[in-house]
Structure 1
Amino acid sequence: MEFLVQKIGMSRTIDANSTPVTLLKVLQAKVCQLENGKALVAYAMHKKHNKAIEGQQKKYQLSKEFNHFATLKASQQKELGDLDLSALETLKRVKASFKTKGRGFAGVMKRWN
Protein backbone atom coordinates (compact mmCIF):
# COMPACT_ATOMS: atom_id res chain seq x y z
CA MET A 1 0.00 0.00 0.00
CA GLU A 2 1.34 3.44 -0.90
CA PHE A 3 0.46 6.80 0.61
CA LEU A 4 1.22 10.41 -0.22
CA VAL A 5 3.26 12.05 2.52
CA GLN A 6 4.99 15.36 3.12
CA LYS A 7 8.21 15.58 5.09
CA ILE A 8 7.85 17.97 8.04
CA GLY A 9 11.35 17.68 9.44
CA MET A 10 13.67 15.69 11.65
CA SER A 11 13.46 15.00 15.37
CA ARG A 12 14.75 12.44 17.86
CA THR A 13 13.25 10.08 20.40
CA ILE A 14 13.70 10.80 24.09
CA ASP A 15 14.91 7.46 25.42
CA ALA A 16 18.08 6.10 26.95
CA ASN A 17 19.57 6.23 23.47
CA SER A 18 18.61 9.04 21.14
CA THR A 19 17.28 7.75 17.80
CA PRO A 20 16.80 10.17 14.88
CA VAL A 21 13.33 10.06 13.31
CA THR A 22 11.76 11.73 10.29
CA LEU A 23 8.41 13.43 10.86
CA LEU A 24 5.92 12.80 8.06
CA LYS A 25 2.43 14.13 7.43
CA VAL A 26 0.00 11.95 5.46
CA LEU A 27 -1.75 14.11 2.87
CA GLN A 28 -5.50 13.99 2.50
CA ALA A 29 -6.29 12.21 -0.77
CA LYS A 30 -9.35 11.05 -2.68
CA VAL A 31 -9.38 7.89 -4.79
CA CYS A 32 -10.81 8.78 -8.20
CA GLN A 33 -10.38 5.54 -10.12
CA LEU A 34 -9.41 1.93 -9.31
CA GLU A 35 -7.89 -0.35 -11.93
CA ASN A 36 -5.78 -3.56 -11.61
CA GLY A 37 -4.55 -2.85 -8.07
CA LYS A 38 -3.65 0.75 -8.91
CA ALA A 39 -5.52 3.84 -7.83
CA LEU A 40 -5.68 7.29 -9.39
CA VAL A 41 -5.51 9.62 -6.40
CA ALA A 42 -6.19 13.37 -6.20
CA TYR A 43 -4.56 15.48 -3.51
CA ALA A 44 -4.15 19.15 -2.63
CA MET A 45 -0.76 20.72 -3.31
CA HIS A 46 -0.83 24.27 -4.71
CA LYS A 47 -3.55 26.82 -5.35
CA LYS A 48 -2.77 27.28 -9.06
CA HIS A 49 -4.37 25.00 -11.62
CA ASN A 50 -5.13 25.08 -15.33
CA LYS A 51 -8.06 24.08 -17.51
CA ALA A 52 -6.83 20.50 -17.91
CA ILE A 53 -6.96 20.04 -14.13
CA GLU A 54 -10.40 21.72 -14.02
CA GLY A 55 -11.62 19.10 -16.51
CA GLN A 56 -10.32 16.28 -14.31
CA GLN A 57 -12.00 17.85 -11.26
CA LYS A 58 -15.34 17.95 -13.10
CA LYS A 59 -14.90 14.38 -14.37
CA TYR A 60 -14.33 12.96 -10.87
CA GLN A 61 -16.62 15.45 -9.00
CA LEU A 62 -13.77 16.88 -6.90
CA SER A 63 -13.60 20.20 -5.11
CA LYS A 64 -11.09 22.80 -6.30
CA GLU A 65 -8.58 22.03 -3.53
CA PHE A 66 -7.72 18.61 -5.04
CA ASN A 67 -5.58 19.80 -7.94
CA HIS A 68 -2.77 17.22 -8.25
CA PHE A 69 -3.05 13.61 -9.38
CA ALA A 70 -0.86 10.55 -8.78
CA THR A 71 -1.05 6.80 -9.40
CA LEU A 72 -0.48 4.60 -6.33
CA LYS A 73 -0.53 0.88 -5.54
CA ALA A 74 -3.75 0.26 -3.62
CA SER A 75 -4.21 -3.44 -3.00
CA GLN A 76 -6.60 -3.01 -0.03
CA GLN A 77 -8.70 -0.16 -1.44
CA LYS A 78 -12.09 -1.50 -2.54
CA GLU A 79 -14.12 1.62 -3.32
CA LEU A 80 -13.78 5.22 -4.46
CA GLY A 81 -13.59 8.06 -1.96
CA ASP A 82 -11.13 8.75 0.84
CA LEU A 83 -7.87 6.80 0.94
CA ASP A 84 -8.03 4.07 3.62
CA LEU A 85 -5.47 4.78 6.37
CA SER A 86 -6.28 1.79 8.60
CA ALA A 87 -3.04 0.05 7.52
CA LEU A 88 -1.00 2.75 9.31
CA GLU A 89 -2.66 2.38 12.73
CA THR A 90 -0.66 -0.61 13.96
CA LEU A 91 2.72 0.25 12.43
CA LYS A 92 5.66 1.49 14.47
CA ARG A 93 8.06 1.98 11.56
CA VAL A 94 7.42 2.95 7.97
CA LYS A 95 9.76 2.48 5.02
CA ALA A 96 9.72 5.64 2.93
CA SER A 97 11.32 6.45 -0.40
CA PHE A 98 11.49 9.93 -1.85
CA LYS A 99 12.55 11.54 -5.10
CA THR A 100 15.05 14.38 -5.14
CA LYS A 101 14.35 17.69 -6.82
CA GLY A 102 16.83 16.79 -9.57
CA ARG A 103 18.66 20.05 -10.16
CA GLY A 104 21.21 18.48 -12.49
CA PHE A 105 24.62 20.11 -12.89
CA ALA A 106 24.17 23.36 -10.99
CA GLY A 107 26.56 26.13 -10.07
CA VAL A 108 27.99 26.50 -6.58
CA MET A 109 25.53 29.14 -5.35
CA LYS A 110 22.46 27.36 -6.72
CA ARG A 111 23.64 24.11 -5.17
CA TRP A 112 23.46 25.46 -1.64
CA ASN A 113 20.33 27.64 -1.96
Structure 2
Amino acid sequence: MTSVYAAPEYINGLLTDKSNVYSFGVVLLEVVSAREEALYLPPLENRPQLQQSQLEKGGYIDPFLIRTKKMGTASLRIFVEIMESCLQFNWRERPSMGDVVEKLEYALQLQEEFTESAK
Protein backbone atom coordinates (compact mmCIF):
# COMPACT_ATOMS: atom_id res chain seq x y z
CA MET A 1 0.00 0.00 0.00
CA THR A 2 1.33 3.41 -0.88
CA SER A 3 0.89 6.32 1.45
CA VAL A 4 -0.72 9.50 0.23
CA TYR A 5 1.19 12.58 1.24
CA ALA A 6 -1.22 15.16 -0.20
CA ALA A 7 -2.93 17.44 2.29
CA PRO A 8 -6.73 17.31 2.53
CA GLU A 9 -7.11 20.78 0.99
CA TYR A 10 -5.49 19.51 -2.19
CA ILE A 11 -8.87 17.96 -3.09
CA ASN A 12 -10.16 21.52 -3.55
CA GLY A 13 -7.06 22.59 -5.48
CA LEU A 14 -5.71 24.68 -2.61
CA LEU A 15 -2.01 24.37 -1.93
CA THR A 16 -0.18 26.40 0.68
CA ASP A 17 3.13 26.21 2.52
CA LYS A 18 1.19 24.34 5.17
CA SER A 19 0.30 21.65 2.64
CA ASN A 20 3.97 20.72 2.74
CA VAL A 21 3.82 20.66 6.54
CA TYR A 22 1.02 18.09 6.28
CA SER A 23 3.13 15.93 3.96
CA PHE A 24 6.02 16.14 6.40
CA GLY A 25 3.63 15.09 9.17
CA VAL A 26 2.82 11.93 7.21
CA VAL A 27 6.54 11.15 7.09
CA LEU A 28 6.81 11.70 10.86
CA LEU A 29 3.82 9.41 11.41
CA GLU A 30 5.47 6.71 9.33
CA VAL A 31 8.65 7.09 11.38
CA VAL A 32 6.95 6.89 14.77
CA SER A 33 4.64 4.02 13.76
CA ALA A 34 7.27 2.19 11.65
CA ARG A 35 4.55 1.58 9.06
CA GLU A 36 4.49 2.86 5.52
CA GLU A 37 0.72 2.72 5.52
CA ALA A 38 0.60 4.91 8.64
CA LEU A 39 -1.69 7.39 6.91
CA TYR A 40 -4.41 4.77 6.94
CA LEU A 41 -4.60 4.80 10.72
CA PRO A 42 -7.79 6.51 11.97
CA PRO A 43 -7.71 10.27 11.27
CA LEU A 44 -6.16 12.28 14.07
CA GLU A 45 -9.35 14.23 14.65
CA ASN A 46 -11.03 10.91 15.57
CA ARG A 47 -8.33 10.00 18.11
CA PRO A 48 -8.33 11.16 21.72
CA GLN A 49 -5.55 13.47 22.78
CA LEU A 50 -2.37 11.56 23.46
CA GLN A 51 -2.16 10.96 27.18
CA GLN A 52 0.76 9.61 29.22
CA SER A 53 -0.90 6.19 29.53
CA GLN A 54 -1.41 6.01 25.76
CA LEU A 55 2.22 6.95 25.23
CA GLU A 56 3.33 4.19 27.58
CA LYS A 57 0.98 1.67 25.98
CA GLY A 58 2.21 2.61 22.54
CA GLY A 59 -1.00 3.62 20.81
CA TYR A 60 0.04 4.12 17.21
CA ILE A 61 3.69 4.33 18.23
CA ASP A 62 5.89 1.42 17.16
CA PRO A 63 6.13 -0.86 20.22
CA PHE A 64 9.87 -1.23 19.56
CA LEU A 65 10.40 2.40 20.56
CA ILE A 66 8.64 1.78 23.87
CA ARG A 67 10.02 -1.70 24.59
CA THR A 68 13.70 -0.95 23.93
CA LYS A 69 13.65 2.38 25.79
CA LYS A 70 16.06 3.75 23.21
CA MET A 71 14.02 6.91 22.95
CA GLY A 72 13.28 9.03 25.97
CA THR A 73 9.66 9.59 26.92
CA ALA A 74 10.02 13.38 26.84
CA SER A 75 11.58 13.47 23.37
CA LEU A 76 9.08 10.93 22.05
CA ARG A 77 6.18 12.96 23.42
CA ILE A 78 7.48 16.13 21.72
CA PHE A 79 8.03 14.23 18.47
CA VAL A 80 4.45 12.94 18.55
CA GLU A 81 3.08 16.40 19.38
CA ILE A 82 4.92 17.80 16.37
CA MET A 83 3.57 15.04 14.15
CA GLU A 84 0.00 15.58 15.36
CA SER A 85 0.21 19.33 14.85
CA CYS A 86 1.46 18.80 11.28
CA LEU A 87 -1.47 16.49 10.53
CA GLN A 88 -4.21 18.91 11.54
CA PHE A 89 -7.05 18.64 9.03
CA ASN A 90 -7.48 22.42 8.84
CA TRP A 91 -4.34 23.86 7.24
CA ARG A 92 -4.67 27.08 9.25
CA GLU A 93 -4.10 25.10 12.46
CA ARG A 94 -0.80 23.56 11.28
CA PRO A 95 2.50 25.07 12.41
CA SER A 96 4.94 26.70 10.04
CA MET A 97 7.86 24.58 8.90
CA GLY A 98 10.12 26.91 10.91
CA ASP A 99 8.17 26.06 14.07
CA VAL A 100 8.42 22.36 13.21
CA VAL A 101 12.19 22.58 12.83
CA GLU A 102 12.52 24.46 16.12
CA LYS A 103 10.48 21.83 17.99
CA LEU A 104 12.36 18.96 16.34
CA GLU A 105 15.63 20.53 17.49
CA TYR A 106 14.21 20.63 21.03
CA ALA A 107 13.16 16.97 20.78
CA LEU A 108 16.68 16.13 19.61
CA GLN A 109 18.17 18.01 22.56
CA LEU A 110 15.95 16.05 24.97
CA GLN A 111 16.94 12.80 23.28
CA GLU A 112 20.64 13.62 23.52
CA GLU A 113 20.20 14.36 27.25
CA PHE A 114 18.35 11.06 27.67
CA THR A 115 21.03 9.14 25.82
CA GLU A 116 23.81 10.77 27.85
CA SER A 117 22.08 10.02 31.16
CA ALA A 118 21.57 6.37 30.13
CA LYS A 119 25.33 5.82 29.84
Q: Higher helix share goes to which structure?
A: 2
Considering Cα pairs closer than 8 Å and 6+ residues apart, tell me whether 1 or 2 has the greater RCO: 2
Decide which structure has greater strand share: 1
Between structure 1 and structure 2, the one with the greater Rg is 1
